[in-house]
Amino acid sequence: MDATSARKERIYSRNEIEGLIADGRTVFILDGRVVKADAWRPFHPGGDKAMMHMVGRDATDEVTALHSAEAKKLMEKYVIGRIEGRWTNFLPPIQGGKFRSREELVRLQQAQRLPSEDTDSSSQDSSEEPSPIFEPVDKETVRRRRQDSAVPELSRSTSSTSVSSLEMEDVPGDPAKYSTTKETKQQIEEDLRKYPRLDSNTQTQIVDKYRLLNQRIKDEGLYNCNYVAYAWEIARYTFLFGMCLFTLHLGWYATSGLFLGLFWHQLVFTAHDAGHMGITHNFHVDTVIGMIIADYLGGLSIGWWKHNHNVHHVVTNSPEHDPDIEHMPFFAISHRFFESLRSTYYDRIMTYDAFARVMIKFQHYLYYPILAFGRFNLYRLSWEFLLLGRGPRKGPAWWHRWFEIAGHVFFWYWFGYELLYKSIPTAWDRFVFVMVSHMITGPLHVQITLSHFAMSTADLGVAESFPQRMLRTTMDVDCPQWLDFFHGGLQFQAIHHLYPRIPRHNLRQTQKLVQNFCDEVDIPYAIYGFVDGNKEVIGRLGDVAKQARILAECQRHIAETGDYH
């Protein structure tokens, strides 16, 4: 055995891994091996934020879901050792986890004169902030959870909610914290009743069956792309763009804009497939396909989308961490946004200010009108990402930024100059063309938000397995098979979140296997019709809006009377 192989076979204790993380190392567990990815982190094509959420965790399922077998093989060069037994997750630093250095752990062990294993056990709590929201509500529950050893795992919250803020429900204080603390506890307790227990045995069984299902999906060829289906996709895109040009020639500018909007709407589905390497399964080929579609034909950055979307896939529906639900001041799908949370993705406070208070009160009425303008915001986010150089500047994706910028220049030439400026004679007709073409993509933004806005935003801690969290925070939309082209695979979001690299034309067939898996592990599988799903979303937005109005009334009462009771 050479020195490199011997190094990779070294067994790391929990203390040693905690010490590495305390030193700022990007360390996670993959298939029982310890990976130290500091050298790769600046060059990761999907951004470093997704990696940061895996620090201290067993990231096997997340990495497997989002990466090809070739990418996983490349990770072997960053393996520094292995662990023994089942890993108990730390709370990552980006989520508030605190870690003690190796020197501190040694001093603690010497001071307490404890064996190494005992120190390891106590160190499990160092990366978490104990929170009473995870404490059982009665003595019987305390006794039961102690018996199955689930209490230490239940206490690992990725929420930034502090002990002091949770205690506000017992003492006079900020009514916002009082209200949100109570609601948070209720949501967590409801999810703990509804979903499988968080003890090690239960979650391990779920993970084992999830991985067996992945192997069955591979064996049945559901990862293989149906290229005939993409031939039909290309025919549809060509027809829509051709109709755009034809009606533009006739001077039917609103109609032309409608066909262009439908063209963009359909293109996004294939860009999504390429972004997940679901077409050729080759990173470079699918990336080029995605950039040509998103940047050159749609004026949007696939690089920005990947950085955003990868984080969404690993911390789905987390108010502090998931950028796909962070839409303040326009939308709040959780009462927790009343606390002016800090977004770890945008690295800023999502302030619940005066403007947000007004918008949130009426968000269920503004949902569709605001989403109709969603494409304009995507332009801003794309240019911000590219101009500020937020993507990797070295490594295999160093050239993506420049290829994307060229794509945006090309897009604004053909769309902004040739189509909009030269082909449409008047300012009013140009305005109509732009508004129709952009607002017709509104249903796409509804489809994107539909599968998550109505689902749980509660945080059950680091003990919860990847498959359970995905199914708890995501729902599918039921529709007849002939309408699959309209939804573009986004109607199977729960399945997609479990296995993101499955080509979308195989998701309907995969759905039956996932439903059987959910029945077997006793995880509720959320599926609604398109209309009912919209009702669920509007209902959630309306509930949060009602809470915002009640909170405003409480604050007004306190301001007028000084009475906190």
Exposure of 3 by Cβ count < 10 A (0-12 exposed, 13-18 middle, 19+ buried)? exposed
Going through 314-472 in order, the beta strands assigned E by DSSP cover: 342-343, 348-349
Which is nearest to 133 in space by CA: 189, 190, 198?
Answer: 189
Q: Give the dihedral sign, CA 150/157/98/86.
A: positive
Say which residue the tokens 């063209």 belong to.
263
CA angle 335, 338, 341 (to 5 degrees): 105
**Measured CA angle at 174 (ends 171, 176), to 5 deg:** 120
Q: Do residues 502 and 222 make contact, with C-beta atoms less than 8 angstroms apart?
A: yes
Number of neighbours of residue 555 by Cβ within 10 angstroms = 15
Q: How are beta strands 348-349 and 342-343 bridged, if at all?
A: antiparallel
Q: Are strands 348-349 and 476-478 parallel, antiparallel or unpaired?
A: unpaired
AA letter at 118:
D
Could you tell me if 542 and 364 are in contact, meaning their C-beta atoms sit under 8 angstroms apart?
Answer: yes
**Sheet containing 33-36, strands listed edge to edge, beginning at the edge strand earlier in sequence:** 27-30, 33-36, 79-82
pLDDT per residue as tens, the chain (565 positions): 566 677 788 999 999 999 999 999 999 999 999 999 999 998 898 889 999 999 999 999 999 999 988 888 889 999 999 999 999 999 999 999 999 988 888 888 778 765 555 445 444 445 544 333 333 334 344 333 333 433 333 333 334 343 333 433 443 445 445 555 788 888 999 999 999 999 999 999 999 999 999 999 999 999 999 999 999 999 999 999 999 999 999 999 999 999 999 999 999 999 999 999 999 999 999 999 999 999 999 999 999 999 999 999 999 999 999 999 999 999 999 999 999 999 999 999 999 999 999 999 999 999 999 999 999 999 999 999 999 999 888 888 999 999 999 999 999 999 999 999 999 999 999 999 999 999 999 999 999 999 999 999 999 999 999 999 999 999 999 999 999 999 999 999 999 999 999 999 999 999 999 999 999 999 999 999 999 999 999 999 999 999 999 988 887 877 777 665 5
Residues 6+ apart with CB under 8 A from 524: 194, 195, 471, 518
